Structures are given as structure tokens and as C-alpha cells.
Amino acid sequence: MAAVQRCRTGPGGAALGVWRALSTAAPLVEVNARGSAIAELRLQREPVNSLNTGMLKAITDAVRGLEADPEVDAIIVRSGTPNVFCAGLDFLELYKPQSENQLREFWSAFQDLFLTLYPSRLATIAAVEGHAPAAGCLLALACDYRVGARGPYAMGFNEVQFGLRVPPWFVPVIQSTVGTRQTERLLQLGSLVSFEEAKELGMLDEVCDAEQLMDVAEARAKEWCFPTSTLRECRHVTKAYLRQPNMEVLLRDREADTDLFVQTALAPALQKALGLYIRSLEANKKGGGAAKAASGSA
């Protein structure tokens, strides 16, 4: 599990409470200052930022650390690997788990991340630098504002293409973003859409050239950082009013949601499908290990 260490200076020695996630190996997430009151949260679990239990907990810990810092008003969530924002849940967590408790810990970590990021007091900006399927797309939609890099990238919810059920608590988040009809189409077909279409649907707020992405994201973060604590509190309260009903879908029965996930993950048909998919990735991977090859998206 990643530990969290606080660093007190930003660019040019400016005072800013910045939290850096550390681990015994390479850090799963890294947090640095980006201008006054803005932190950059960089996802860097190679090769595609797939979300295993450790990654989910590292992101949650980083967000909570930044929320506790009164000098931080906004975060920009971005990828540290090229051409992918986040590939979704790591299929290796689902395939042949050591125990049911392992699945429960994994899903609880995913729930915790959503329940931390989605209502955060911080202004949250997603700088989507590449593909964002399934849980990777939800990670972006949990933010207040989303900027995509122009390129041959796709985002959306393709769970049904792998024989997975879309978690019920995904639905109101997507529905409040793109509307009921488009939610039905995207979820039932398991569709991934281009960034240009994502912008038309409202999944992205704007698309810009890749070399401009972080500058645009920082500019938007500044727009969401009001100059006084009173105004920032008003913005946060308004956000809570708007997002609480969507959160209630999960909050009213987390245990039942976890039970549903475990039941789905352990189904023989899904385990067989996951095995075939992972083996196909391993067969196509040259010079990489099984863990890299099996980083899937869900």
C-alpha cells in the first residue's frame, strides 16, 4: 500500500501543502504543486493505470490528504502514461481470486474512491490524455470538469462487452451527465465513443490539442477556485446538493452492492470469459509479463 508524505513547497519555493504518494517500488500516484492552491494528481501505474486494490487506495488516500490541506483548493487528475487516462478495473483482481474477501476488499476500495472523489470539497478537473473506458470513464465523470486531448481516443462504458453488469450506482452519474436516452444507448450497447462525440454528449466539457491540455486544465482549475473561503464553501455546498442524490444509490446499501459484485465476479461464465481474454492478451504481448498483459478494462 502506498504511504503518504507531505511536502511543503511548490514551484519557486512557494508554500503549498502537496502530498506525494510513495511505495516500496515506483509510486502508484504522484501529487505535485501546479500553481497556487492547485495540485496535480498523476496516475502512474504502468502500463495503463488499471485499477487494482492498491491503486484505488492510493488515489483515495491522495485525495483525502489534499482535502485535509487548507492551502489546496483544486486538483487536476491526469495520467503519467501516454495515450491512456485509465483503462478501468484490473481484470487480474477479478480472475481466480484467492478468496471472496479479496473481491470484497477490492470492491470496497472502488466504492471508497468514488465516495471520496465525487463529493470532494475540492474543485476537481480531469485532464483526459488518452483512452478512458469503463471505470476509467467513471473516474473522469466523478470530476467537476473534464478536458480531453485531441487524438484517436475513446471513452465510455463497455462492461457488457465483457459480460459484466454495470453497477447500479454508475447509472445516475452517467444519466446526470448525458441524459437518460444516451445513458440507455451507451450502457446497453457497451459503447465507446470518440472524444469529439464525448464532448457533444457532455462526457467531456472541451477538447484541445494534447500539448495545450495541462495549460487548459490549469486555467479551468483557477476558474473553479473562488477567491474567498466563503465563496468556496458556497460552491461546495451547492455541489453537495446536486450530487448527494446520486451518491445515495450506493450509500443506502453498500453491502448489497458488494454482494452483487462478488456474485457476478465468481460466476463460472464470467470467469471463463476473463480467462480467455487474459490468455489472448498474454499471447499478443511480446516480452511482457502476465500482469502487464492482463491489465484489462471494466
71/15 Cα distance (integer angstroms): 8
- CATH code, 23-285: 3.90.226.10
Write down the domain spans for the chain: 23-285
Decide the pairing of beta strands 192-194 and 130-133: unpaired
Question: For residue 298, what is its C-alpha cell?
Answer: 471494466
How confident is the prediction along the chain (298 residues), in pLDDT tens digits per residue? 333 334 433 333 333 333 333 333 579 999 999 878 999 999 999 999 999 999 999 999 999 999 999 999 999 999 999 999 999 999 999 999 999 999 999 999 999 999 999 999 999 999 999 999 999 999 999 999 999 999 999 999 999 998 899 999 999 999 999 999 999 999 999 999 999 999 999 999 999 999 999 999 999 999 999 999 999 999 999 999 999 999 999 999 999 999 999 999 999 999 999 999 899 888 877 554 433 433 456 7
Q: In this structure, are residues 155 and 177 in contact, taking their beta carbons and an 8 Å threshold?
A: no
20/25 Cα distance (integer angstroms): 14
Question: For residue 166, what is its C-alpha cell?
Answer: 454495470
CA angle 270, 274, 277 (to 5 degrees): 140
Within 10 Å of residue 100's Cβ, how many Cβ atoms? Answer: 12
